[in-house]
Amino acid sequence: MKSFNKKLGEEGELLAIELLKNNGFEIVEKNYRFGKGEIDIIAKEKDFIVFIEVKTRENLNYGEPEEAITKSKQKQLRKIAQCYLAEKKIVDYNCRFDVIGILLEKGKSPKINHIENAF
């Protein structure tokens, strides 16, 4: 049985993918794993490869969802992105890191905050 947090995260990722597709992004990979880390979504938008971290919460007890991405998490995401680019032999491509924070409070519409070029 999946944990509540895993289900919440998957629900958030589905909403994020829907948002991205509606805004003209092409989804390239979901849940790209390297070592112990993972990038939630890798997409293309215009001339960019976009590495996207999705954070989903059901309340604001610990702050906004996107505030959960610490400096060490950013460093880990950069490393995984470099591995992805090397594995796929991608060179000379613009890359950026986006964050999508999703708040799924019971009885309310999802609140989605897409931060482009977050770090």
Q: What is the pLDDT of residue 2?
A: 74
pTM over 0.75: yes
Residue 3: per-residue pLDDT: 84
Number of structural domains, the chain? 1
54 touches 12 (CB < 8 A): yes
- Of 52, 6, 48, 3, nearest in space to 29 by CA: 52
CATH number at residue 106: 3.40.1350.10
Burial (CB count within 10 angstroms: exposed 0-12, middle 13-18, buried 19+), residue 50: buried
Enclosing domain of residue 20: 4-115
Strands 94-103 and 48-57: parallel
List, for residues 44-102, the tens digit of each pLDDT value. 999 999 999 999 999 999 999 999 999 999 999 999 999 999 999 999 999 999 999 99
pLDDT in tens, 73-86: 999 999 999 999 99
